[in-house]
Structure 1
Amino acid sequence: MPYAAQHLAQAPTRAEVDSLTGIALLEFGTPWCGHCQRAQPLIEQALNDRPDVAHVKVEDGPGQRLGRSFGVKLWPTLVLMRDGQEVARVVRPQDARAMAQLLGAGPAG
């Protein structure tokens, strides 16, 4: 699944996320967040070579249960999941290396 430029209209439930199969990258943030905007090229570039990774872009904020269930405090927070289990995360990635290390935690297979 390619990079998702837009946040989902409605966030999935925690049960839906926990039941995902394969590798998924949850991205928590908002469209207006400067840190989120600066991270977009890094995220897009990293996902270009990883068609096996589902990109789930979730708008976060007060009262958003999914972000709270993952303990999200800063944006963007990227959580790498394998078969519904968190395997790695990065908060506010600053460079391509941070993204490569994150995605390296969930190789195909």
Structure 2
Amino acid sequence: MATVDLTTETFDEIVSKDGIVLVDFWAEWCGPCKRFAPIFEQSSEDKTEIVHAKVDTEAHQELGAKFGVTAIPTLMAFRDGVMVFNQAGALPGPALQQLVEAVETLDMDEVRAKIDEHDATEH
């Protein structure tokens, strides 16, 4: 499956679905983004059950701001609508593969329990 371009209008709809969505925040002028692009594209071909999406931070600055993206590329992973990973910097292929495997094996009930616990201590 090829990568999907996300916009402000489509972002929430795509990342809130069940399953895994990887989001690459990038810009045309960004050298590291251009080096990461083929790695991300290869992952989309290898792992067709995972949505691989891209956000052009120049065209959709409000999305970058919403998620506090201050450096690009920034990679985020969502599973079942929950952000489970957020890191700036281009990953090499093996590291991206490890990330995907880690997200696939997450116990989402445990993740949600930790979020609830964290939210309870914040109030």
Same fold (TM over 0.5): yes
Does 2:47 align with 1:50?
yes
Per-residue displacement from partner, 1:59-104 (whole Å, max 9, x unpaired)? Answer: 1149722222221111111101001111123322241122112212
Aligned residues, how many?
Answer: 106
The equivalent residue for 2:65 is 68
CA drift at 1:57: 0.9
Task: Give the greater-gyration-radius structure (CA).
Answer: 2
In 1, Cα distance between equivalents of 2:35 and 2:87 = 15
| Structure 1 stretch displaced more, 61-70 or 79-88 | 61-70
Q: TM-score, normalization: structure 1?
A: 0.77
CA contact (8 A) 1:88 1:105 kept: no
Cα RMSD of the aligned pairs, angstroms, is: 2.6
The unaligned stretches of length 5 or more in structure 1 are: none
With the length of structure 2 as denominator, give the TM-score of the two structures.
0.70
Using the aligned pairs only, state the percent identity.
Answer: 35
Give ranges in structure 2 of 5+ residues lacking alignment. Answer: 107-123
Candidates 20, 23, 31, aligned match of 2:20: 23
In the alignment, the residues of structure 2 paired with residue 94 and residue 23 of structure 1 have an alpha-carbon distance, to the nearest angstrom, of 18
Q: Which has the higher helix share?
A: 2
Whether the 8 Å CA contact 2:33–2:90 is kept in 1: the answer is no
Alignment correspondent of 2:2: 3
Which structure would you say has the larger RCO, counting Cα contacts within 8 Å and 6 or more residues apart? 1
